Amino acid sequence: MADLQLAISEAVVRKLFVTARDNFAFSHSDSVDLGPFTVSYSAGVKLKNGDIDFQSNNTVLLKELDIVYDPLSVTFGLDIPRVCVGGFCIIPTPFGCALRAPRVCFFEDDPDVAATINLSGIITTEISGTCGMTLRFVPEAGAGTPDPWTALANGVSNEWRLHLVPGWLDIDLIDVADTVGNLIDQLIDALVDDVLSPLPGWARGIVKAILHGVTSIIRTILDIGDDIGEWLSNLFNVSLDLFSFVVDEVAKYFADKFALFAFPDPYPMLPAETSVLGPPLVPVLINIVQPAITVTDTELVLETSLGA
Amino acid sequence: MALRIKQSIINATEFRSDGLGVLASIAWAAETVGRYRGTVRRGDAAVASFELEVDKGGAASQLDIDLNDLAGASLGGARAARRFQVASAEGQPAYVQFFVSDGPGGYQVVIEGAKANFDSRSLGPRDVFTTVLVRPGLYTMEHKPSGAKGEIAVERLEQSEKGYEPKAHQVRVTARGFDPPRLAIRGADGVVFAVEGGGAVRVRLAKPEPDEKQPPRRRLYPEALRIKGRAAGETSSKPVGKRPAKPR
């Protein structure tokens, strides 16, 4: 039988969760070569909204925790097809073309172009899942001090830390803002104008006409179908693996980095006291032995034995 | 960004069969099997040479030779003459087509063989001179030595015209002149001259269509370009720039 039993209400743990959520932030950048084009991105990730819900089976439900990608800038680089004139038939015959004009190209090589678009706040994903609660003992916290009283006085006692440990997490794409369609058009314009800007107006007209519709070509290269939201989701989810990366980071954050709360071991049952009659009294420290956590529908219960 | 636009294409306004440059080509109809020796000249100087073998009955009946490439290789120190092969199909001549992919151009080609010769300065009856006119405006075409003249109006190809397939327009050049003497084409179309009476053809941009208004240049460092507002006492003994003379 435990010597000590401590209950924390679900409401209090919710507030602790909000603190943990608001302290989460990381940035990440990566690039990937997807054959016809390259993509590099730089993302800042934060958490918003979401809630936890205690379950009767010793688990905690993590509900609709929003991932905010802000800032999020994505740079696309691609080779657009060569822009050449000529190639038409000079001497047609009943059996085909006997002589064809040589092709002469406007550019030395395939034009490689790059343009960056700002997708900050455009994508909304959310995480849901099931978590357990665990207490972790951190023994090294008091290392280097002569005794537990000094460690406590210096704020470096050994600690028990309560972590929310995700069992499984799902990430869902909730929304891609409608404005993304305009952004993709802007991207394509930027890519094309980047290539053609040195040309005089008449030459730009020829090049764009020869390219058989630059927009459709770039859309083909980038493999953008009718649903831009789906394309963007696949890009980040499958090609760039950003969503999985975020899920891992969130899981590691709650499981390893940010404790919902912590308490020292040995625990100061009675605080230090000053005495006018004699020397000051040191705090009374009690060892925490085999603490255990239980989650019920309404509260979190901590039970432990106390040692000398 | 590794991107270089061939300015020679943008700036090309004259196309000559006797001085080949970008966006122009000459096809020699090689009707006799044999070995030939070719020389590429620019003005009085021979800038490259090559060997050509014309066979009978092969798959490749068209050979394209880039004179800019050939001259560049010679300048780069390549001493051995480049060798080319082409084969004529049944009942058809082999076509050896000379063109210029980049650079200032002005090339002439002379081919000498035991049974046939070719000189780009005076085309033969089955030879073909082709130009691709990309810049909108009014061009004049002229045949030498007859002095016959004609006009080509090139219409601007708009950016919105997606997927335009350039066309080839045929022009016969006879002793009586150009047939048709005037034609209207669109940017990037080709004009194919069949020079039946020999000689040379020149096409020149006589009246370019004014280009669309370019956006004003952004001045990044206005203070560096400032001429007015010079500090008091500061003098300059040299004029800045050259002011065009006023017409009288």
Domains of chain B, by residue range, sit at 1-121, 129-211
Q: Which chain A residues contact residue B130 at CB under 8 A?
A: 90, 101
| d(C-alpha B86, C-alpha B200), whole Å | 25
CB A112: neighbour CB atoms within 10 A?
16
Residue of A nearest to B102 (CA): A104
Q: Which of A210, A125, A201, A209 is nearest to A170 (CA)?
A: A125
User: Residue B200, exposed/middle/buried by CB under 10 A (0-12, 13-18, 19+)?
Assistant: buried
Instruction: Find out whether B192 and B170 touch, Cβ atoms under 8 Å.
Output: yes
Q: What pLDDT does A272 receive?
A: 83
Give the pLDDT mean for B230-240: 38
Residue of B nearest to A107 (CA): B5
CB A30: neighbour CB atoms within 10 A?
13
Q: Chain centroid to CA A117: how far? A: 19
Q: What pLDDT does B79 receive?
A: 65
| d(C-alpha B79, C-alpha A4), whole Å | 97
Q: Between residues B158 and A9, which one has the greater pLDDT?
A: A9
Q: What pLDDT does B153 receive?
A: 95
Q: Which chain A residues contact residue B95 at CB under 8 A?
A: 91, 98-99
Q: What pLDDT does A110 receive?
A: 66
Percent of residues in chain A assigned helix, strand, coil, to nearest 5:
30, 45, 25
Nearest neighbour of B101 by CB, restricted to A104, A111, A113: A104
Give the pLDDT mean for A11-15: 93
Q: Given an 8 Å threshold on Cβ–Cβ distance, is B211 in contact with A201?
A: yes
C-alpha angle A287/A290/A293, rounded to 5°? 115
How many Å lie between the alpha carbon of A204 and the closest alpha carbon of chain B?
7
Q: Which chain B residues contact residue A85 at CB under 8 A?
A: 9, 23, 132, 134, 166, 188
pLDDT digits (tens, 9 = 90+) for A30-68: 988 887 788 899 999 999 999 999 998 999 999 999 999
- A183-187, A213-217, B9-13, B205-209: which has the minimum mean pLDDT? A213-217
Interface with A, mutate which of B132, B189, B207 (most A CBs under 10 A)? B132
| d(C-alpha B244, C-alpha B248), whole Å | 12
pLDDT digits (tens, 9 = 90+) for B86-125: 998 777 889 999 999 998 899 999 999 988 889 999 998 8
Domain count, chain A: 1
Q: What pLDDT does B159 receive?
A: 61
Q: Given an 8 Å threshold on Cβ–Cβ distance, is A109 in contact with B61?
A: no
Residue A192 belongs to what domain range? 4-307
Interface with A, mutate which of B6, B26, B162 (most A CBs under 10 A)? B162
> B180 preceded by cis ω (within 30°)?
yes
Q: Which chain B residues contact residue A205 at CB under 8 A?
A: 156-159, 161, 187
Q: What pLDDT does A244 receive?
A: 86
A-B Cβ pairs (cutoff 8 Å, strict) = 133
C-alpha angle B78/B80/B81, rounded to 5°? 105
Give the pLDDT mean for B128-140: 95
Q: What pLDDT does B161 receive?
A: 60
Q: How confident is the model at residue B2 (pLDDT cuts 50, 70, 90)?
A: very low
Give the pLDDT mean for A186-213: 71
Output the pTM of the full model: 0.61
C-alpha angle B225/B229/B230, rounded to 5°? 80
Instruction: Find out whether B173 and B101 touch, Cβ atoms under 8 Å.
Output: no
| d(C-alpha B232, C-alpha B243), whole Å | 24
Q: Given an 8 Å threshold on Cβ–Cβ distance, is A101 in contact with B156?
A: no
How many Å lie between the alpha carbon of A213 and the closest alpha carbon of chain B?
5
Instruction: Find out whether B100 and B21 touch, Cβ atoms under 8 Å.
Output: yes
Interface with A, mutate which of B10, B157, B213 (most A CBs under 10 A)? B157
| d(C-alpha A142, C-alpha A245), whole Å | 34
Q: What pLDDT does B221 receive?
A: 37
How many Å lie between the alpha carbon of A227 and the closest alpha carbon of chain B?
23
Mean pLDDT of chain B: 81
| d(C-alpha A267, C-alpha A157), whole Å | 9
Q: What pLDDT does A192 receive?
A: 67
Instruction: Find out whether B60 and B87 touch, Cβ atoms under 8 Å.
Output: yes
pLDDT digits (tens, 9 = 90+) for A160-182: 999 999 988 888 877 777 676 67
Q: What pLDDT does A106 receive?
A: 81
Tokens of B138: 């009014």
Nearest neighbour of B159 by CB, restricted to A106, A208, A216: A208
- A43-47, A53-57, B54-58, B225-229: which has the minimum mean pLDDT? B225-229
Instruction: Answer yes or no: is pLDDT of A196 > 80.
Output: no
| d(C-alpha B114, C-alpha A152), whole Å | 107
Q: How confident is the model at residue B54 (pLDDT cuts 50, 70, 90)?
A: very high
A191's enclosing H/E stretch is helix A180-196
Q: Which chain B residues contact residue A88 at CB under 8 A?
A: 166-168, 190
Q: Between residues A176 and B141, which one has the greater pLDDT?
A: B141
| d(C-alpha B202, C-alpha B15), whole Å | 6
pLDDT digits (tens, 9 = 90+) for A85-141: 899 999 988 878 889 999 988 876 666 777 788 888 888 888 999 999 999 988 865
Q: Half-sphere exposure of B34 toward its Cβ, with a 13 Å CA cutoff?
A: 13
Q: Half-sphere exposure of B133 toward its Cβ, with a 13 Å CA cutoff?
A: 35
Percent of chain B having pLDDT more than 90? 51
Strand partners, A302: A6, A293
Q: Between residues A78 and B146, which one has the greater pLDDT?
A: B146
Instruction: Answer yes or no: is pLDDT of B80 > 60.
Output: yes
Q: Given an 8 Å threshold on Cβ–Cβ distance, is B214 in contact with A208?
A: no
Residue of B nearest to A87 (CA): B166
Q: Which of A18, A259, A272, A228 is nearest to A119 (CA)?
A: A228
pLDDT digits (tens, 9 = 90+) for A221-263: 777 777 777 788 888 888 888 888 888 999 999 999 999 988 8
How many Å lie between the alpha carbon of B232 and the closest alpha carbon of chain A?
40
- ipTM score above 0.90: no
pLDDT digits (tens, 9 = 90+) for A276-302: 777 788 888 888 888 999 999 999 999
| φ/ψ (deg, to 5) at B146 | -70, -25
Q: Given an 8 Å threshold on Cβ–Cβ distance, is B64 in contact with A194?
A: no
